[in-house]
Amino acid sequence: MKAPLWGEFRSQKRKSHMLGPIQRIETPMHRFPEGEEVDYVIVGVGAGGGVVLQRLARAGFRVIGFDAGPFWDTERDWVSDEKGAHNLYWNDLRITAGQHPLAFGANNSGKGVGGGTVHWASFAPRLHPSDFRIRSEDGVGFDWPITYSDLKPYYELLELELPVSGPSYFPWGDPHGYPYAPHPMGGVGDVLIQGCTKLGIRVSAGGPVAILEGSRADRPHCIYRGFCIQGCKVGAKASTLITHVPDAIGNGAEIRANCMVSRIHLGENRRVTGVSYFDPEGREHFQKAKAVIVAGYSIETPRLLLNSACPGFENGLANSSDCVGRYLMAQAGNVVLGRFEELVRMYKAPPAHALTEEFYETDPKRGFARGFAIQTVGPLPIAFSKQMMTAKGAWGWGLRSVMMDYNHWAAFGFLGEILPNAENRVQLAEEKDQFGIPIAKVTFNLYDNDKKLIEYGKNKTMEVMWAAGAQEVVQEARYAHLVGAARMGDDPATSVVDQFGRTHDITNLFICDGSIMPTQGSANPGLTIMALAARVADCLISQGEKIFNSNERDMQRPPMRRDLSPPDTWGHGMPTFSS
């Protein structure tokens, strides 16, 4: 038994709420009086909700962020343990159906303040310019109502706010650099770089990931413990819980945690008046608001709208287009695993630390539209055992045997674009949850282009693993992420919200999360969701009171409010490249 090197942090005598080992929030926090009308209610404080909450609070609006899960104290609530992270996920029941059904829970759904950013691996690439117009360029999917250049300044802003670490020159899409330096490599990153280099494929080392490689303000740098998707106790990995929510609270926002919003109410003149919610004791309340922003992500957002059906909106609130719940997407996320003669120990370092987007764009020679990325992943033992169960069919002694070789394996995540389809959708099931609210039933099928893309991309990813010197390569089919199901567009007949997240049907009802994305590219969606949220916030702030007392829809592009970023955002950065 070897002697440890050093010990636990000095225990903190604290009454305050800890967000990482240094950052704290004084308790009790501000609470709006019962019965008082607020300016905005935000349903869900995740990637989108967290950013828009922070902007609105800093701009002086009276705003409440509801979340169905807890307001985490990261020191008290989180663990460095795979099984112990179970409570970070949305574990309420959903029914999954279709020929190629999706997994939920730990795979893609957060519950609690910070939402999915609490357990994302935090790869933070941008979409490519081509992603915004795949209908025009490739004849598939749907064009966005905005272009890359509309979102680019918000990408740059959020890359500073999180911030994102990565190379100083990222060559794909719109080439750019990252404000924080790339991370050191772990074993899996070395394997990806080796394989890619052998095959002449360009590869990005050490990012882009929203993990601090140097400490900043009250957040320490990464310690390379590998438990990113179990919740970063270190406070190095960005989540809106630690990057945006503290600033929102400091500017008067209220977080109403463990409160499940069950219905949005429609009043006169086609305007919403507030939300019903269940408090932690299960009592139902009504919270009055001048406007409502739904930010529950791609399953809960459509579920809430469908459950808010009322006279005039019999098929679901803001659903005159019949697009609520439709065009749901997940990315193909096959995990490719390779065994090496030498040890890898892939549990060290963040799972996300190197990637290639060399295959991102459409290549007509491949026989399908759009493309994919290849990224590092670092499954811990439980996840790896399940991957061996599906990838090799391992059980019994076979499982014990391959698990004894855990330290010899490396894993890549293929990340492929699945195209939007109207039949991939969220509906309501007959079953109800603990509050009596109908649960979501999700149907998902892969179509021809999806299948061809997955087959090609999976084989290419395996080829890279072989090229790195693996003795054995296997793969598991699976998905990663969710987006869509309340898409944005210019035409109210084929989309749910406009380019500012405002529902076409109701002028004081907004959606601000991944569900508004019309397509998904092969980039992990977190950064794009946050950039869109900052843009939505600029629209809300520039229109001010008009949103509360008029049904006029102003489509002017709002000025960018860089001054509303959380403190300490500026003064870091990279020069931009001329394009």
Partner 1 sequence: MNYQNAQGDRRPVDPRTGKPIGPMAQPGYYPGFSTLSQQKFWDAKTRDVVLDRVNNVPPIRFFSPEEAKLLEAICDRVLPQDDRDQAHKIPIVPQIDKRLYENSHDGYRYVDMPPDRDAFRLGLRGIQEIAQQQYGSGFLDLGPREQDEILQSLHDGKPSAGHEIWKKMAVHHFWLMLVSDCAEAYYSHPWAWDEIGFGGPAYPRAYMRLERGEAEPWESEEERYEWEPPANSLSGKYELVAGRVEHFGSPAQGGTH
Please say which residue, 321 or 375, places its beta carbon nearer to partner 1: 375
The secondary structure of 480-538 as a DSSP string is EEEE-SS-B-S-TTT-SB-TTSBBSS-TTEEE-SGGG-S--TTS-SHHHHHHHHHHHHH
Position 203 contacts partner 1 (CB under 8 A): no
Residues 159-178 that bind partner 1 (CB under 8 A): none
Q: Is 359 in the site for partner 1 (CB under 8 A)?
A: no
196 contacts: CB under 8 Å, gap ≥ 6: 202, 203, 356, 358, 374, 464, 467
Interface residue with partner 1, options 60, 84, 367, 544 (CB under 8 A): 84
DSSP string spanning 435-477? Answer: TSPEEEEEE----HHHHHHHHHHHHHHHHHHHHTT-SEEEEE-
By CB under 8 A, residue 518 contacts partner 1: no
Q: Helices 187-199 and 448-467, interaxial angle, to 10°?
A: 100
* Comparison of 230 and 243: residue with beta carbon closer to partner 1: 230
What is the footprint of partner 1 within residues 430-469 (CB under 8 A)? 441
Q: How far is the CB of 352 from partner 1 (least distance, A)?
A: 6
- Kindly tell me which residue out of 310, 343, 493, 555 binds partner 1, with binding defined by CB under 8 A: 343
Among 60, 97, 367, 576, binds partner 1 (CB under 8 A): 97
181 near partner 1, rule: CB under 8 A: no
Residue (184 or 544) nearer to partner 1, CB: 184
Phi, psi values for residue 261, rounded to 5°: -75, 130
Query: Judged by CB, which is closer to partner 1: 111, or 265?
Result: 111
Q: b/e map of 252-272 (b: 16 or more CB within 10 Å)?
A: ebbbbbbbbbbbbbbeeeebb
- Of the candidates 22, 25, 93, 574, which one interacts with partner 1 according to CB under 8 A? 93
Amino acid letter for position 18: M
Minimum CB separation of residue 496 from partner 1 in Å reads 24
Rule CB under 8 A: which of 370-389 touch partner 1?
375-377, 379-383, 385-387, 389
Based on CB atoms, which residue is closest to partner 1, 224 or 286? 224
Select from 57-65, 116-124, 285-293, 358-366 the region that touches partner 1 (CB under 8 A). 116-124
Task: Select from 43-51, 246-254, 266-274, 340-348 the region that touches partner 1 (CB under 8 A).
Answer: 340-348
Nearest to partner 1 of 419, 564 (CB atom): 419
Smaller CB distance to partner 1: residue 159 or 190?
Answer: 190
Among 103, 181, 199, 560, binds partner 1 (CB under 8 A): 103
Residues 258-317 that bind partner 1 (CB under 8 A): none
Report the b/e string of 153-167 with b at 16+ CB within 10 A: ebbbbbbbbbbbbbb
Q: Give the alpha-carbon dihedral of 344, 345, 351, 357, to 10 degrees.
A: 0
Pairing state of beta strands 254-256 and 284-294? unpaired
d(CA 495, CA 167): 37
The answer to the question of residue 333 lying near partner 1 (CB under 8 A) is yes
282-319 burial: b if 16+ Cβ within 10 Å, else e: eeeeebebbbbbbbbbbbbbbbbbbbbbeeebeebbbb
Looking only at the bridges linking them, the beta strands covering 409-416 and 335-339 are antiparallel
Q: How far apart are CA 477 and CA 334, in angstroms?
A: 4
Contacts for 506 with CB less than 8 Å, ≥ 6 apart: 266, 270, 271, 272, 317, 318
The site string for partner 1 over 397-426 (x = CB under 8 A, - otherwise) reads xxxxxxxx-xxx--x-x-x-----------
Residue in this structure with the two tokens 């843009």, named with its chain if needed: 535
CB of 523 to partner 1, least distance (A): 11
Q: Which of 32, 91, 250, 492 binds partner 1 (CB under 8 A)?
A: 91
Q: Which is nearer to partner 1, 391 or 536 (CB)?
A: 391
Query: What x/- string results for residues 3 through 42 when contact with partner 1 is judged by CB under 8 A?
Result: xxxxxxx-x---------x---------------------
Q: Which is nearer to partner 1, 165 or 321 (CB)?
A: 165
Residue written as token pair 């096959």: 334
The span from the CA of 245 to the CA of 184, in Å, is: 29
Classify residue 339 by burial, with Cβ atoms within 10 Å: 0-12, 13-18, 19+: middle
Least distance in angstroms from the C-beta of 330 to partner 1: 9
* Of 17, 24, 58, 94, the one binding partner 1 by CB under 8 A: 94
Binding-site residue total for partner 1 (CB under 8 A)?
109
Structure tokens at 337: 């695993």
Question: Which region, left, alpha or beta, applies to residue 209 given φ > 0 means left and ψ of -120 to 50 means alpha?
Answer: beta
Q: Smaller CB distance to partner 1: residue 342 or 552?
A: 342
Q: Are strands 409-416 and 272-278 parallel, antiparallel or unpaired?
A: unpaired
Q: Whole-number minimum distance, CB 117 to partner 1, in Å?
A: 12
Contacts to partner 1 from residues 479-508, by CB under 8 A: 479-480
- In the complex, the smallest distance separating the C-beta of residue 383 from partner 1, rounded to whole angstroms, is 5
Q: Does position 552 bind partner 1 by CB under 8 A?
A: no
Q: Is 325 in the site for partner 1 (CB under 8 A)?
A: no
| Separation between Cα atoms, residue 369 and residue 531, nearest integer Å | 26
Q: Which stretch binds partner 1 (CB under 8 A): 199-207, 251-259, 349-357, 503-511?
A: 349-357
Closest CB to partner 1 among residues 52, 234: 234
